[in-house]
Structure 1
């Protein structure tokens, strides 16, 4: 049984996405409910797996890891399981997406230098052909669409 995703729940999610450290009293003011009512809603969102965790947002460049890239991987026939096992264990890989099209996987990677990127790509070439695109900037970064009514249809 799914949770009722009304306007209040969406507002709470947007606020927490923006600042996961907001307290129940601050959230309550935002949605015009009591703090206990907000706490109960958030608890339900967590229990239903809508909220899956809270984490700090890290600026990798400021942390000494200035290079991020997308790597398209066209995995060789019969090598997909071996490829998945490899990428799970590579710490430089931030995200791995299994996608449609000739490049079955797209990786988002972060490394401290071009030589580290080269070493990473060398690890992948036995299992896939790769195409690498350097990430210059990220003008949009969000976890949810801005206008949720546009995406889900009108909410009650």
Structure 2
């Protein structure tokens, strides 16, 4: 990773729809040179995909929450299978500490959240935190080393 690749990653994180020409202007390279760098970053698995960021409130899904799940002994495999089947789960993190998993869920109503938590209760103790806002949204830290690796 050199400084140019770091600049390309930052620019794509902010706006993945930038053209190769626009990216080239940012890093002082031709569009074909940028395309080649991005192709290599994709092949190396550095760039894993491109997606739209959806405002859930605008699509009538106003409630997001984090659910800490302290999974009961011997229930982890079944818990993972359940979580994979739940459409409301938009992120699942396996973490250290007493809560083995933290889920990010999105629902249309409090009753839907309650129903979701009822499905989890047979396999885990849960603690739920409502998400009020999302002031920082980025895929990588700003203070990444921009040196060649």
- Normalising by the smaller structure, the TM-score range is over 0.9
Correspondence for 1:34: 30
Q: How many residues of Structure 1 are paired with residues of Structure 2 in the alignment?
A: 148
1:102 to 98, 103, 107: 98
| 1:1-156 map, 5 Å | 5-149=1-145, 155-156=147-148
Deviation at 1:88, TM superposition (A): 0.5
Deviation at 1:139, TM superposition (A): 1.0
The 2-side partners of 1:7 and 1:93 are apart by 36
The 2-side partners of 1:30 and 1:16 are apart by 11
Deviations 1:2-38 (A, max 9, x none): xxx1110010011111111111000000000111110
Task: Output the TM-score relative to the length of structure 2.
Answer: 0.97
The 2-side partners of 1:50 and 1:91 are apart by 27
Structure 1 runs (4+) deviating above 6 angstroms are: none
Q: Which structure exhibits the higher relative contact order, with contacts defined as CA atoms closer than 8 Å and separated by 6 or more residues?
A: 2
Deviations 1:88-145 (A, max 9, x none): 0100001000000000000000000000000000000000000000000111111011
- Consecutive unaligned residues of structure 2, counting only runs of 5 or more, are none
- Consecutive unaligned residues of structure 1, counting only runs of 5 or more, are none
For the aligned residue pairs, the C-alpha RMSD in angstroms reads 0.8
